[in-house]
Amino acid sequence: MFKRMSALLLAGVTVLAAAGCASGGSGGSGGADDGKITMGFSQVGAESGWRTANTKSIQDSAKTAGIELKFSDAQQKQENQIKAIRSFIQQKVDVIAFSPVVESGWDTVLKEAQNAKIPVILTDRAVDSADTSLYKTFLGSDFVEEGRKAGKWLVEEYKDSTETVNIVQLEGTTGSAPANDRRDGFAEIIKADPKFKVIASQTGDFTRAKGKEVMEAFLKSNPDIDVLYAHNDDMGLGAIEAIEGAGKVPGKDIKIITVDAVKDGMQALADGKINFIVECSPILGPQLMDLAKKVVAGEQVPQRVLTEETTFTPEQAKAALPTRPY
Ligand code: AHR
């Protein structure tokens, strides 16, 4: 009798486990039992051309992969992302993915997702949680390396000069991984030569409007700016308006380095208004959907998945522009 009951119980458990696999196999409590994976995705916002391309990549790839996407725009506010993640947990999605607006302050909500057995994937930006078991994997760029690439171009550009090079820096969102890392990678390279001086550095929050506003202030208080290093194209494009407004020629009177390589940035590079762009790819959707399927199926995935990227000079931008997808 006991044996028969055990067999029945075991059969029941097997059926439940199979259903769990279809709707949230890695232990996630899962969405509707319709065999479809449901992903809750919390996006940073719509602050830049890069972000728009990233959102499109994620939405398009979810469709192609047959993953139901619950998309939430945090308008660059951490509290909105935390609310969205809590709502995904309540809705029992199969997997949560998000691009954290800033690096710190995630442990509590990530622990809540872990307790609900919902796997989390970080995309684009990292968190600084010491407990890496709180997320399954992190897919995105090496932002420190991007900063180094910007610094290396500058060192090469001024290799024959003995004069001081006055640099102003437009930083990304304060506390965000790309702002911290792009600043640190750049500083690491230029510190080797004391002629490079960062005379002003301030956040432009990754937006064109703020980039313009902060560059106007830089120009007013610093008459001798040689170089602008902007942590993204959009801030660089805003700064170009400020530089032109001040009667100076961007790309000549002030050399400009940016990061991203979105179409508008690449056009400004081809036009000689920007001098060098370090690429940061927003096309993370296809890899994210692959990783999501794997973690939901309970498969092992690497802790870190790096995006492949390059750099562009004006000539390379001219060649790449006709087929640039974003
Ligand atoms: O996290 C990636 C950065 O965020 C991009 O470089 C920037 O344009 C965006 O807003």
Ligand 1 contact, 25 CB (< 6 A)? no
Which pLDDT value is given to residue 98? 98
Q: How far does residue 47's CA lie from ligand 1's centre (Å)?
A: 8
Residue 17 CB contacts under 8 Å (≥ 6 apart), including other chains: none
Which pLDDT value is given to residue 272? 98
Which pLDDT value is given to residue 35? 79
Long-range contacts from 121-124, C-beta under 8 angstroms, 24+ separation: 121/95, 121/96, 121/97, 121/288, 121/291, 121/292, 121/295, 122/97, 122/98, 123/58, 123/97, 123/98, 123/99, 123/284, 123/288, 124/44, 124/54, 124/99, 124/282, 124/284
Which pLDDT value is given to residue 13? 34
User: Model confidence over 250-300: pLDDT tens digits?
Assistant: 999 999 999 999 999 999 999 999 999 999 999 999 999 999 999 999 999
Residuewise pLDDT in 10s, the chain (326 residues): 333 333 333 333 333 333 333 333 444 444 446 779 999 999 999 999 999 999 999 999 999 999 999 999 999 999 999 999 999 999 999 999 999 999 999 999 999 999 999 999 999 999 999 999 999 999 999 999 999 999 999 999 999 999 999 999 999 999 999 999 999 999 999 999 999 999 999 999 999 999 999 999 999 999 999 999 999 999 999 999 999 999 999 999 999 999 999 999 999 999 999 999 999 999 999 999 999 999 999 999 999 999 999 999 999 999 999 999 99
Query: Buried b / exposed e across 170-203, counting CB within 10 Å, b at 16+?
Result: bbbbebbbbbbbbbebbbebbeeeeebebbbebb
Ligand 1 contact, 43 CB (< 6 A)? no
Ligand 1 contact, 259 CB (< 6 A)? yes
Query: What is the pTM (predicted TM-score) of this model?
Result: 0.90
Q: Beta-strand (E) ranges in 47-132?
A: 68-73, 95-98, 120-123
Ligand 1 contact, 125 CB (< 6 A)? yes
Q: How far does residue 96's CA lie from ligand 1's centre (Å)?
A: 20
Ligand 1 contact, 47 CB (< 6 A)? yes
